Each structure stands twice: as structure tokens, then as C-alpha cells.
Amino acid sequence: MATTPLAISSVTGLSEPQSGLYAGSDKSTGDMRRRFDFSDRFSELAVNQTPFFRLVSQIAKSPTDDPAFKYAEKRQSWHKRHSYVIAHNASATANNYGEGGTDATVSTAAGTAHYFWVASDTSYKGNIQNIIGQYDTKVGGAGTRPQHYLPKQMVRIPSRAAGGTHFTASDYFIGQIEEVVLGNLDTSDGSWDTEDTDAAGTEFESARLKVMLTRVPSSDKEMSSYSVSGATTGGNNPVTTNASVISDGKLASVGESATGAKDTGAAALAPFQVHTIGSSYEEGSSLLGQTWKDEPYSTSYGQTQIFRDEFGMTNTSRATVLKFEPNEWARVWKDKLVEHKWNMEMAGLFGVQGSATVDSNTHYYTQGAADFCLRAGNIFPLTHSSKSTDDFLEDMSKFLDPRYNNANATVFFCDTATYNWLLKLGSGDHSALLANVVSGPSAANNFRYDFAVAGKKSLFGVDLTQISTPYGDINVARNIALDSSVVKILAINMNYVKYRPLVGNGINRDTAIYVGVQTLENSGVDKRVDMILTEAGFEFKMPEAHAVWK
């Protein structure tokens, strides 16, 4: 229980803790805070306490003049111009949609037009995509209508063999778009409405493409975006249905399964996506008179939080010379600075942005990295005893796929157990990253280290271990604050995180020490109180650029 103000009398009668291999002695030294002659038998343990706050505050400090600050995100669209076939027919009347008995086969011959209804899982307002492990956007959901198709464009439509594997491609159709009509397809009755309103109920936002087929597979003519007949209820089902590999129309293959299946990420989606492959105009062609534009920007906001630590002491206590550190006031003053920094580290990791009314007063809270990633970022499973090098390689491939996340200024903050797991070689059933590579003496000359420690460095006092992987070097820092959480690895892209102290109108609310907010001279009370205060917040952008392993 805290004592206010701190007085020397409040620390009498304490037990005498002992550490090290041998106990100090069986003789009590009395009051541990009074000055006895302990000579120079004293040492202090220093730890690397706050690596996250240290790096963010040094690398990415960006003051704000508003406690509720807004920021924008920009995502390019050129690699997101894809869609999925959700219905098709030889005429302009929708067919082969919804669940039960749909036909995935396109029988139209080359040189003949065929109609395809295509839908997307990317919001055209901000080019916002699904995040691995989050299942945010439904195929054909509100705000996903494909805007980028134009007449004269060439498209590649993937196909597979009859009865082939779910959502894979073994061949493809190629054709030229003759007509584009935007609207909503109602999968309850196949009605097609040419409108630009958000989809609702059983409607799916889509585009109807009239495509003159120029290349037709010789045999593999089933649409790759349909499930295999017999594997789900009623036969072939497009990706918009609740098939066994689909969750409410949201592509299950974009997120990690509970078992860490490897059929996830952008590389797994590509085989059944319709892609634009350029355009073709006739000689002497006139202006098309049509174009499209994307909306690459999205916005969000952050919140500052007021951090404050007060500490006081009677002047009698300040004047008393103690045993280990003569000046108790100086010791407390230094430790309070460390405590304040630790509090900001914990808020920067585990804070949940928002506000709450406590004792009739409104308190505001900033966003933490772990909560941001768990609610919006990439999520990968990690069980030390079973996660192999190949599994981790798959995770890195998905996380750093240039179609998905093309930035890699990432620091991997790890709890202690995972930090050791990354660095151990292991063999047999040892819990280590390379356990499946180093399997015993017989394999001594038959493996290569695709994962290896490339070196160590210190960045602003934070020790970083560089581990070489096929996808580049990763910078790993041990963070003891994660030891008490479900997060094993917190991968933060330093390009998309900022420390935002409140600064405006000549007032700087970044960390400051207010000396003597209460003294004998200004209050008539025989004690001194100092205060450390910070008003700042954390900003996290681009959830696809951050990840957690848990």
C-alpha cells in the first residue's frame, strides 16, 4: 500500500530479501533503509526494459496539435484489379449462381461471347483488402463492386478440370470485354439490377462482363472459383455461398485456419481470380469515352492519453542520509522516470483506444500495438512444439507477399520463450525453429541453414538480432512485456507507426518533469511533490503491414 507522503518511518520493519547463490548471513542488519556501513557490496541490475517505446519514440516521433488526430492511408490499386466469377451464362440472364446444382462448366467455343458475373473482396473506397486471419470483407459485399473493367480490356479467367481440387487452376480462358454493366445480383432468384447502391440481403455487388472468348481450354473448363461437385451441398457452388471452404461468403483461404493450414494468403487466392491482362484496340480506333478512377485513400483517427506520475517526500526524509544510496529523493526521482517510461511501453503495447467515464470524469485512452494487430492485423498461429521451419516460411511468404504487403521495415518483438525458440537449432522433439531441419548426426552434411543468425546490432540502445530468411533479414528484439500476454511475436512495420505527443500553441505536452509542484515555500506544507507528465498517443496505419503470432 502506498504511503503519502513517503516518510522514512514507513519503511521500518521490512523483511530482508536475499538473492544470489548464497544468503548474506543469518544475522539481520536491522532496518534496511538506515545507514549502516555496507561499504561497496552493492550492485544494481539493469535490463532492456522498453524496446517498443524506445524505437517508436526515436524513429517515428510526429507531434500532433489535436488530441483526437486523424490520418490517411493510401493503397495502390494496380495489383488489386481482380475478381471472382459468381455466375455465368451464354446469355445476359444470370445462371449458375447460389447453392445447389449450379454448373461450373463454360461450354462456349472460342470466337463466341459468354457472360460472366464477377464480384470482388476488395473495397473500392480506399482499396481496402482482407487481412489474414480477420475475414473482414465478404465477396460481393457492400462497397466491393469491381470498378476497373472497361470495354476492349483482355481478361484471363482461370479454370480447372471437372471434379478437380477446390479453388485451384489447371488452365484458363482468355477473352476481350465487349460490354460492362455494373449492378447487384440477387442469388435468391437470379435477378440482376443495374444499380450502384450497396448490396443488401441476398444481393451481391458485381459486374456483368460480356466477353468474346479468344482462348478456350481443350478440356479443363470448370470455373476455378466454384467448389467441386459432391464436396459441398448441392454440387458446384461459387465463392459467394456457404460452402465447406467458405465462411458466409468470406474467402476462408485468406485467413489462417486453426491448424495453420498452408492454403492461405494472396498466393492461394490468385489461382481462382479473374485478372486484367491489358487491352486490345483495332487499327484506327476512336476514343473509348470511358475511364475509371480508384479511391486510394482511407482515413482513421487516433487518440492521445495523459500519463502522469507524482511523487512526494517530507523534507525531513529528503535530508536523511541512508545506507545504500544516501539521497533517497534522488533514487525515487530516477526510478519514477523508469516507471513512467514503463507505463508508456505497456500502453503502447496493450492499450485499447477509446474513452470511459470514471468518477464522473471522462478519460481517453490511446491505441496499443498488440490490440491493434489482434483486432485488425495479420494473425498467425504459433505452437513452439509443432511449428516448423517450413511453417514459418509459409507465414513469412504470406505476410511479405508484394501483392499484399510490399513494405518490410519490420521489427519482430518476441516474448522470451519465442526469442529462444527462434535462436535454438534443436533436434528430435526439441522445441526450436529448426527442429525439422537438424534431425540428428546422420543429417549433419545434408542440410542448409536458410534460417540463420546473420548478426547483432544496437539501435538506439535496443539490442536487435538479425535472422536471415529467404524473404530477407528480420530484426528480432526480446520484449519482456510480452511474457505475460498471448502474443508470442509482434511484428510492427516501423514505417506505419508513429509516436504522437501533443504540441501546439507554444505548449509541448511531451514528457516533462514539473519540479516542485508543491513545496514548503508555495504551500506551507513541509514536503516536496514533483510530477512527470506526458500527453501523447500512438498511431498505427496499414493493418496488413503488421502481424502477430500467438
Tens digits of residue pLDDT in 158-199? 998 887 776 778 999 999 999 999 999 988 888 888 877 888
**What integer pLDDT is reported at residue 185 of this predicted model?**
92
Is 233 found in the same domain as 103?
Answer: yes
State residue 263's pLDDT score: 45
Residue 45 lies in a domain: no
Scored b (16 or more CB within 10 A) or e, 481-517 reads: bbeebebbbbbbbbebbbbbbbbeeeeebbbeeeeee
Rg, C-alpha atoms of the chain: 31
pLDDT tens by residue, 102-142:
788 899 999 999 999 999 888 888 888 878 877 667 788 88
* Domain's final residue, options 284, 317, 352: 284
Kindly state whether residues 257 and 118 are assigned to the same domain. yes
Place of cell 530482508: 16
- Using one digit for the tens of pLDDT, what is the confidence trace for 426-448? 544 556 666 655 444 454 445 55
| Distances, alpha carbon 218 to alpha carbons 160, 171, 214, 465, in Å | 11, 9, 13, 53
223 and 120 housed in the same domain: yes
The grid coordinates of residue 38 equal 555496507
- Domain termination residue (choose one: 242, 268, 284): 284
Q: Is residue 135 part of a domain?
A: yes
234 & 383 share domain: no
Final residue before a domain boundary, out of 284, 304, 337: 284
Q: What is the DSSP letter of 363?
A: E
Q: Are 36 and 30 contacting, i.e. CB atoms less than 8 angstroms apart?
A: yes
Category of 43 on φ-ψ map: left (φ > 0), alpha (ψ -120 to 50) or beta: beta
Task: Tell me: do 272 and 416 sit in the same domain.
Answer: no
CA dihedral defined by 492, 494, 496, 499, rounded to 10 degrees? 100
Domain ranges, residue 389: 378-440+447-495+544-549
- 298 vs 41, 127, 237, 302, 370, CA distance in Å? 60, 8, 33, 14, 22
Task: Looking at the structure, tell me whether residues 102 and 238 fall in a common domain.
Answer: yes
pLDDT at 232 over 50: no
- 60 to 56, 461, 500: CA distances (angstroms): 5, 16, 9
Percent of the chain with pLDDT over 90: 37
Q: Residue 199's closest CA among 258, 125, 138? A: 138
Q: Cell numbers 499484399 correspond to what residue? A: 404
In a domain, 503, yes or no: no
361 half-sphere exposure, CB direction, 13 A CA radius: 3
pLDDT of residue 5: 56
Could you tell me if 509 and 535 are in contact, meaning their C-beta atoms sit under 8 angstroms apart? yes
Q: Mean of the pLDDT values across residues 387-402?
A: 84
Residues 265 and 386 in one domain: no
The pLDDT, as a whole number, for residue 513 is 86
Q: Note whether residue 512 is domain-resident.
A: no
Name the amino acid, one letter, at 320: T
On whether both 267 and 402 belong to a single domain, the answer is: no
Asked if 396 and 249 sit in the same domain, the reply is no
Rounded to 5 degrees, φ, ψ at 454 are -90, -15
Mean pLDDT, to the nearest integer, of 33-53?
A: 53
C-alpha cell at 359: 468518477
Residue 257: the pLDDT is 37
Q: How many domains does the chain have?
A: 2
Q: Same domain for 279 and 382?
A: no
Tell me the pTM. Answer: 0.81
**pLDDT tens digits for range 148-157:** 999 999 999 9
Residue 389, domain member (yes or no)? yes
Residue 337 counted as domain residue? no
Q: Which residues of 438-448 are buried (b: 16+ CB within 10 A; e: fewer)?
A: beeeeeeeeee
Q: DSSP string of 427-471?
A: -TT--STTTTT---GGGTTS---SSEEEEEEEETTEEEEEEEETT
Instruction: List the Cα angle 149/150/151 in 5-degree steps.
Output: 135
Would 370 be classed as within a structural domain?
A: no
Write the secondary structure of 165-194 as one string of H (helix), E (strand) and C (coil). Answer: CCCCCCEEEEEEEEEEEEEEEECCCCCEEC
The answer to whether residue 148 is domain-embedded is: yes
pLDDT tier at 265, thresholds 50, 70, 90? confident
